[in-house]
Amino acid sequence: MDVTVFSTKAYDRRFLDEANAAKGAPHRMRYLDVRLTEESALLAAGTSAICAFVNDVLDRPVLTRLAAGGTKMLALRSAGFNHVDLAAANELGIAVGRVPAYSPDAVAEHTVGLILTLNRKIHRAYARVREGNFALEGLLGFDLKGRTAGVVGAGKIGTAVARILAGFGCRILVHDPAPTPEICVAGAEIVDLQTLLASSDIVTLHCPLTPETRHLIDGNALSLVKRGVMLINTGRGALVDTRALIEGLKTGVIGYLGLDVYEEEGDLFFENLSDEILQDDLFARLLTFPNVLITGHQAFFTVEAMTAIAATTIDNLTCFEKDQRPRHPVVASARSSAVGGSGNG
């Protein structure tokens, strides 16, 4: 099948080419580095399938243009599909496939990396030592053992985070309307969100973005947390209200902030913008705090996850070509696809 692949980098091409070759190269991949927008949708004309990533635009106008050009299938290289107008896709006869799970451990391990870095201030120590500054003032951390970690959303990733943090000797609190059975094995206590916020030294977000979870952490939620809390978001940018976070950082309510996602990341992440003037004032303000650590949506980015994403994407395309249905179709009632779909990644 001919496939136009949007938003690709060299690493996407490498893993997709390997996965395609492993199956005898059934698909002809046309790689584009541009993001999918209403304008760039024209570039897919004549190909039966397109492949898209998390910051591609997949609203009704784009899907209409794709359908007019002959697109019959959309293969998402992500678990999340909150950026897809599923009703429009359905009406236009475009089947949507996704990668429901690739490596929860990749995201969980990055999450714990943010926690350890922020706590022991490794990001600051790295810069200091390179400048010949070996002073310890300002680098004081705390033992994770005995601390309380609150995991919001205990699906695949949240469960993996809970397991790792339990290994450090943390007490684990979980808030999830439908926790996995495995979370109980991790020795976690299931509590309501208020209790979790009031009792946790570390709060880490792993629920999908839905209308209910948008700005889950806002000024009101921050009025409940322990002063100096560590807040980690590797879930989805809009789970937090960035303005409220900045206020929380200024007043010391938030003692540490680790982000891998940002509400307006579509204009920033995955690109080298180092020669440009940053236009996003909220993002710029976040970067001024010494106790804020931001990574650019890289939590998923491991060899294992990229291999799994590519293999599942090729499989989705092959199944669609054979049976007119991807192996992993987007089903609105799926566990991870509460209203609005799951988040990025």
Distance CA 43, CA 51 (A): 12
Q: Is residue 157 within the footprint of ligand NAI (CB under 6 A)? A: yes
Residue from the set 177, 181, 211, 290 that interacts with ligand NAI by CB under 6 A: 177
Amino acid identity, position 38: E
- Among the listed ranges 44-52, 65-73, 317-325, 331-339, the one in contact with ligand NAI (CB under 6 A) is 331-339
Binding-site size, ligand NAI (CB under 6 A): 38
Q: Is 124 an active-site residue?
A: no
Taking CB under 6 A as the criterion, the residue among 97, 255, 258, 343 binding ligand NAI is 343
CA distance 3 to 24: 16
Residue closer to ligand NAI (CB basis): 186 or 261: 261
- 175 lines the binding site for ligand NAI (CB under 6 A): yes
* 109-138: contacts with ligand NAI (CB under 6 A): none
Annotated active-site residue 182? The verdict is no
Tell which one of 140, 178, 288, 333 touches ligand NAI (CB under 6 A): 178
Q: Could you say which of 27, 63, 75, 104 contacts ligand NAI (CB under 6 A)?
A: 104
The least CB distance from residue 226 to ligand NAI, in Å, is 19
Q: Are 104 and 338 in contact (CB under 8 A)?
A: no
Q: What would the two tokens of residue 162 be? A: 């809970």
Chain positions 9 to 68 lying near ligand NAI, rule: CB under 6 A, are: none
Where would I find the H helices in the chain?
10-22, 60-68, 86-91, 104-120, 122-130, 156-167, 181-185, 193-199, 219-222, 242-251, 281-286, 303-323
Nearest in space to 74 (alpha carbons), one of 45, 110, 49, 40: 49
Give yes or no for residue 196 binding ligand NAI (CB under 6 A). no
Q: Is 336 in the site for ligand NAI (CB under 6 A)?
A: yes
The answer to whether 260 touches 205, Cβ cutoff 8 Å, is no
Catalytic member of 77, 175, 206, 236: 236
- Binding part of the chain for ligand NAI, among 68-76, 116-124, 171-179, 241-249 by CB under 6 A, reads 171-179
Specify whether the CB–CB gap between 315 and 327 falls below 8 A.
yes
- Which among 204, 247, 195, 189 has a CA at the least distance from the CA of 226? 195
Query: Which amino acid is located at 209 in the chain?
Result: L
**Nearest distance from residue 337's CB to ligand NAI, in Å?**
8
How far is residue 161's CA from residue 131's CA, in Å, rounded to a whole number? 34
Which spans of this chain sit near ligand NAI (rule: CB under 6 A)?
A: 79-80, 101, 104, 107, 152-158, 175-178, 180, 206-209, 212-213, 234-236, 260-261, 297, 299-300, 335-336, 338, 342-345
Return the active site residues.
236, 265, 297
